[in-house]
């Protein structure tokens, strides 16, 4: 019996690491575990799972958000090793196949069309990023627990805000601090791409979204995909604390996901 069932929890997640060097999260439910993105090597994915007491063989499927290397690096090797399917949109599948990095078992999905997997409902939805068909996800249990997960998006569209409202737990991108990005050594075209509507969410973008996203049932926030060069976890923590104080929600627990170390498992 899984720890989830033993503890009578409905839904959990473990962020194995997040940032431009690699992104991957394990979604826990009674029907098995799901890997959301596989941006580390298969060896590193297994090592990070084992560090958090997760058996890699417990992963039943991989969900991919888009084709950037920091989200698919270990996907083919890991999925083929354990004989599990990889869920992708058709355009993302074509983009990964063009890189010769697709796994053997691909299941095609479409944004806006939810499906059941491992005992939960998986709801992919479109976001704006500089790739073929980027998506984010909402996960729901039959009893109503809701987890939202959105990174790698240039702006919080009406669809994004609607999908991510009233989550019990929310993982949201807080990629860069504008002043740090402008002062960085990155090429001008890179800075412009990051700050564009097909780039990434800034700290300010993320904090501005909180008053509308945080609901009465929201208990956990995780800020993810921080830039190593153009952000600071301590700064994100301070901004989050101030933003939650402003809306009188200091009861909401928040964390900042890091690149090199997996976070503890959170349950909702």
Residue 30: pLDDT band (50, 70, 90) is confident
Cα radius of gyration rounded to whole Å, the chain:
17
Confidence (pLDDT) at 221: 98
Q: What is the pLDDT of residue 5?
A: 46
Instruction: Please give the C-alpha separations between residue 222 and each of 14, 15, 43, 169, in angstroms, as whole numbers.
Output: 11, 9, 25, 8
User: pLDDT tens across 57-78, in order?
Assistant: 999 999 999 999 999 999 999 9
Residue in 41, 4, 42, 21 with CA at minimum distance from that of residue 224? 21
Q: CB–CB of 91/119 below 8 Å?
A: no
Within 10 angstroms of residue 160's Cβ, the number of other Cβ atoms is 22
Domain 3-267 belongs in CATH node 3.60.15.10 = yes
Name the band, by pLDDT with cuts 50, 70 and 90, for residue 7: low
Q: What is the pLDDT of residue 180?
A: 98
Q: What would the pLDDT profile of 137-158 be if each residue is shown by its tens digit?
A: 999 999 999 999 999 999 999 9
Tokens representing residue 242 in the block: 């101030």
**What pLDDT is recorded for position 66?**
98
- The chain-wide mean pLDDT, for the chain, equals 96
What per-residue string of b and e applies to 196-219 under the rule 16 or more CB within 10 Å gives b?
Answer: eebbbbbbebbbebbeebbeeebb
Instruction: Identify whether the C-beta of residue 33 lies closer than 8 Å to the C-beta of residue 46.
Output: no
pLDDT in tens, 98-108: 999 999 999 99
Q: Where are the domains of the chain?
A: 3-267
- Local structure of 214: helix, strand or coil: coil
Q: What is the pLDDT of residues 155-207, one digit of tens each?
A: 999 999 999 999 999 999 999 999 999 999 999 999 999 999 999 999 999 99
């Amino acid at each position: 019996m899984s720890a989830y069932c033993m503890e009578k929890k409905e839904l959990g997640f473990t962020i194995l690491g997040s940032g431009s060097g690699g992104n991957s999260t394990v979604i826990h439910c009674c029907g098995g575990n799901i890997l959301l993105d596989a941006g580390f090597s298969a060896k590193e994915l297994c090592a990070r799972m084992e560090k958090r007491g997760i058996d890699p063989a417990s992963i039943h499927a991989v969900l991919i958000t888009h084709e950037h290397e920091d989200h698919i690096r270990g996907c083919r090797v890991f999925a083929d090793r354990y004989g599990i399917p990889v869920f992708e949109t058709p355009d993302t599948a074509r983009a990964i196949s063009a890189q010769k990095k697709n796994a053997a078992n691909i299941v095609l999905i479409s944004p806006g069309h939810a499906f059941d997997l491992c005992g939960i409902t998986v709801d992919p939805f479109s976001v704006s990023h500089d790739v073929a068909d980027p998506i984010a996800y909402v996960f729901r249990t039959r009893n109503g627990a809701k987890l939202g997960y959105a990174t790698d998006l240039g702006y919080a569209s009406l669809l994004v805000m609607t999908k991510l409202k009233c989550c019990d737990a929310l993982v949201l991108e807080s990629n860069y601090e504008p002043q740090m990005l402008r002062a960085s050594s990155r090429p001008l075209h890179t800075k412009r791409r990051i700050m564009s509507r097909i780039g990434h969410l800034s700290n300010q973008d993320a904090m501005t979204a909180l008053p509308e996203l945080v609901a009465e049932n929201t208990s956990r926030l995780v800020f993810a995909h921080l830039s190593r060069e153009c952000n600071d976890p301590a700064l994100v923590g301070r901004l989050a604390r101030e933003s939650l104080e402003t809306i009188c929600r200091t009861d909401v627990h928040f964390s900042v996901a890091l690149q090199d170390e997996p976070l503890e498992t959170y349950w909702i």
